[in-house]
Amino acid sequence: MTAAGFAIIIRQLQQELPQRMNTSRIAKKTSAMPSPPSGIANSVAAGILEYIRKLDLPAGQRLREQTLADELGVSRSPIRKALQYLEAAGVVASSPNRGFYLKQRAADLMRLDMPEDEESDEALYMRVAEERLSGVLPEEINEVDLMERYELSRLQVQRVLNRMGREGLAERKPGRGWVFLPFLSTDTAYREGYRFRMIIEPAALLEPSFRIDKAAFDQIRRDQRAMLDGGIEKWPRSELFRAGAQFHETLVAASNNSFLLESIRNVNQLRRLVEYRVNVDRSRLHRQCEEHLMLLDLIEGGDRVEASYKLRQHLDVARSIKLHDADEAVDGRTPTVQVEANV
């Protein structure tokens, strides 16, 4: 080989070497990514994400293990494992002095798809909600009975009950056990709840004390856009309900009338179980999200009168679609028409 040919080969190797080294580093990094955590750690990781979204935590926010353990009703060990998984997934980071802290904004995590299985907390939660709504479970329950009925550990039962407590569906008794709180268990009550919302929500937009909370409005706008960007297909029913309820509660909250806000929150809590039980026609949610964004545009543009009229129409259409399904869901029959969970 000539000296010129040898020089050409050397130059080619010099050009390719950085690329090969970079590829090697990427391969190592990818291979180091853990598989989705199993059992408790998986559901705890999902619970941490729900906590981050609920509080709309900013990037850089420190995540204290004990705070998360208290919030989710578990020990610090599964919290630590879940945080380690979320760190590998790029959601959180850690340092010796700070511990774990949020690497991304809560708004950026809406599209993160956590793996679930049939024994996930979400599935267990929906199963308990279904059996309570159908009357299989009594008004008062205890952890041992649920452990035996569903063949669960005490920790799994506690997580489900703690979540129901946070969502206003159940509360711990002074002694032992839990009691389910009232909910809309008849078709008449469900129908009246929608008629009540059609009176209260549009009127709230016309209150003289109405003031836009920019941070809150920005958050619900991000939620609706995140749904359009893939959340509609990926989010569980409970998260779809949360986004819809939060949207409408935020509009009413802007009225600065505490009685109006409390009344809407109560109705949302009462209808939660029925909404969880019926199937969700996710294809219709695209239109619902677009209408929500249109309402925000009208309100922020100063046209609250038009927004009030459009909001009543929005609720009336949803009512007509949902009531047939709600009748069947309350009666324990399989819904023949799927409903929208974002209204």
In tens digits, the chain (343 residues) has pLDDT values of 554 554 444 455 445 444 443 433 333 333 344 455 655 677 788 788 888 887 888 889 999 998 888 887 777 888 888 899 898 888 899 988 789 999 888 777 765 555 544 456 777 888 888 888 788 999 999 999 998 888 877 878 888 898 888 877 889 998 789 998 877 666 677 788 889 999 999 999 999 999 999 999 999 999 999 999 999 988 877 788 889 999 999 999 999 999 999 999 888 877 776 776 665 678 889 999 999 999 999 999 999 999 999 999 999 988 877 665 545 544 544 443 344 556 7
- Residue 45's nearest CA partner among 79, 93, 77 is 79
Helix (H, G, I), strand (E, B) or coil at 170: strand
Q: Is residue 227 part of a domain?
A: yes
- Residue 321's nearest CA partner among 276, 289, 275 is 275
Q: 135 with 97, same domain? A: no
| Rounded to 5°, angle at Cα 215 from 224 and 272 | 50
Q: 44 with 76, same domain? A: yes
Residue by residue, DSSP assigns 16-81 as: HHHHHHHHHHHHHHHHHSPPPPPTHHHHHHHHHHHHHHHHTPPTT-B--HHHHHHHHTS-HHHHHH
Tokens encoding 91: 């959601």
Q: Is residue 97 part of a domain?
A: yes
Q: 268 with 298, same domain? A: yes
**pLDDT score recorded for residue 141:** 92
Which residues touch 275 (CB under 8 Å, ≥6 apart)?
237, 241, 339, 341
Give dist(CA 311, CA 313) in Å, integer: 5
* Number of Cβ atoms within 10 Å of the Cβ of 342: 28
Q: Is residue 261 part of a domain?
A: yes
Range of the domain at 262: 187-331
What phi, psi does 184 have (nearest 5°)? -75, 100
Q: How many domains does the chain have?
A: 3
CATH number of the domain to which 53 belongs = 1.10.10.10
For 123, counting Cβ atoms within 10 Å of its Cβ (0-12 exposed, 13-18 middle, 19+ buried), the class is middle
